[in-house]
Amino acid sequence: MVRKPAPLAAVTMATVMLTSCGLTGVPQGGGGEERQSGTVAASPTGAVPAQPAAPETTATASSPTGAGADTRPALASTRSTHTSAYTAEVVGLNRVAGKHLVVQLRLSNTGTDENISWTGELGDNTRPLGEIRWASGIGVLDAAARRWLLPYKPADSPCLCSDERRDDLGYFIKPGESLSVYAVLPAPSGNPATTTVVTPLGPPMMDVPISDEPVAPPPGQTFPDPEAQPVTVVSHRIMTPSESPDRSEETTDDGKDLHVNLSSDVLFALNRADLTPRSRAVLTRTAKLIDASEGATITVEGHADSSGTDAINDPLSQRRAQSVQRALSGLLTRTGVRFQAKGYGSRRPLYGNEDEEGRRRNRRVTVTFAKPRPAETRPATTPEADPAPGGRGLTAQGKDGGQPFTLEVTGLRRLPGDLGVLTYKITNDGDAEAWHHELNRSAEWMSYKYQAAANVRLTDPATRRQYLPGRIMVQTGDRTDAYCACTELAGVRVGTEKIAPGRTKEFWSLFALPAGASSAQVKIAQYPPLRVPVR
């Protein structure tokens, strides 16, 4: 089921034209597609004439036992949440010219009786492709820059990646067989030794080593040179929300700026723009964050829910923004700060206005400023031996659709940039298949383009602050769509949510993690909370 998102902050789009530097061991070839923002370095003079690409060579599918099979050792692997017999293994991850990345996956059908359509779960779900034939969903998480990097888009096709038709790969993978696919995309920033490989298929593959050796394609394949033709960089911002225990404010971090959404219900009385006594504590915390920032410009935006009319909402949101600006000005300790205040009425909702929780969250004043310097890392503490009440070990029991389920948290891994990936499994212990609707029933579900397993919260034991799943921000025309940085439960993966008896499915979510935290309380859907160590 598709849900229309609220307009959010815009993402820029950049197209680069690069001269061929010759990818060692990577013959030049054809096409792919995409659009959005990115940071691939062009030549010092900017746009330059592109060099013609060499004739393309097709690729052929291979099987584990057939001639020319790709038998390279796997660097990492993941299993499809939707189709348990469908696995992906990273068999090549090479940085080229210091700024490109060639990702090679071996896709396998480990089942015994059914063919698998490999393209359906490997396509980029954040843009219309027209046909389902490209490995366009292969990407990497640039954690340090808070970017979701996907394959380049040349002018003549959706993606600089494997094409089922062009490369003669075949639509299905037969039982016991495999095939190899590739994608060419920007390298993650900072020249890291490892990265996190992401696909729509299943949980991310973390700490995959990057090689700077020449790329070695499998038998029968050649890869295109991204510097032989104009390409558009595809790079989506990642925003990570968190909220205070009393839900008086929600903060999202996009790696560059903080967006602090202050609840108007806390700041003001109904239909008033005078600050309440309770507002001082909320504004004091925001002022401390601004003091720790080095940005000179602070924007203050007033917003309303869909109740009332523009004649009421517009001037009220403007007056509220100005009230917050004046209060923050008096609380700051540093000088040289410029404020910009504006009211937007109900035109920029973050959540759906269909229920009271969505309307409450949309009644807000948003303060945006440059992300503060990293705070002092607090000393790591030893995780509690026992989980939070209700959980035993890293498992918990619950019910959905009349069937008993077991939850098992399999890991909470810290990534660069204070990001973390939570992975967990859910098993149907009953005697009938059931929909696991509770995974989707979170307060912000209307803010996403598609339904997702977003009903997950992390709580920092030291501060009691709650962390919500990250959001992948994708520009679509003049609108920004938000996708949950977690397992999707809609679109081509609509069957993900239904679980057969005895079946286990794996899920994941991306979060911000507080610096220095050695554990977090994890609350997933209807299950009791668990205390999970951070690794």
**Tens digits of per-residue pLDDT, 47-97?**
222 233 333 333 333 344 444 578 899 999 999 998 889 999 999 999 999
Distance of CA 245 to the CA centre of its chain: 24
Torsion-angle region of residue 187: left (phi > 0), alpha (psi -120 to 50) or beta? beta
What is the model's pLDDT at position 496? 57
- State the architecture of 239-370 in CATH terms: 2-Layer Sandwich (3.30)
Residue-wise pLDDT tens for the chain (535 aa)?
333 333 323 333 344 444 333 343 333 233 333 333 333 333 322 222 223 333 333 333 334 444 457 889 999 999 999 888 999 999 999 999 999 999 999 999 999 999 999 998 899 988 877 788 999 999 999 998 999 999 999 988 889 999 999 999 999 999 999 999 999 999 999 999 999 999 999 999 999 999 999 999 888 788 888 888 899 999 999 999 999 988 899 999 888 899 999 999 999 999 999 999 999 999 999 999 999 999 999 999 999 999 989 999 999 999 999 999 999 999 999 999 999 999 999 999 888 788 888 899 899 999 999 998 765 544 444 444 444 444 445 999 999 889 999 999 999 999 988 899 999 999 999 999 998 888 888 766 667 778 889 999 999 999 899 999 999 999 877 778 889 999 988 655 555 567 899 999 999 999 999 888 999 999 999 999 999 999 9
Helices 310-331 and 279-291: crossing angle in degrees, nearest 10, is 60
* Total-model pTM: 0.81
Which pLDDT score is estimated for 87? 96
Residues in the chain: 535
Distance CA 454, CA 110 (A): 29
Rounded CA-CA distance 91/105 in Å is 6
CA nearest neighbour of 395 among 404, 406, 385, 384: 406
Q: Do 239-370 and 395-533 show the same overall fold?
A: no
Domain boundaries, the chain: 76-229, 239-370, 395-533
CATH topology classification for 395-533 = Immunoglobulin-like (2.60.40)
- Give pLDDT, residue 304: 96
Instruction: Count CB atoms within 10 A of the CB of residue 134.
Output: 31
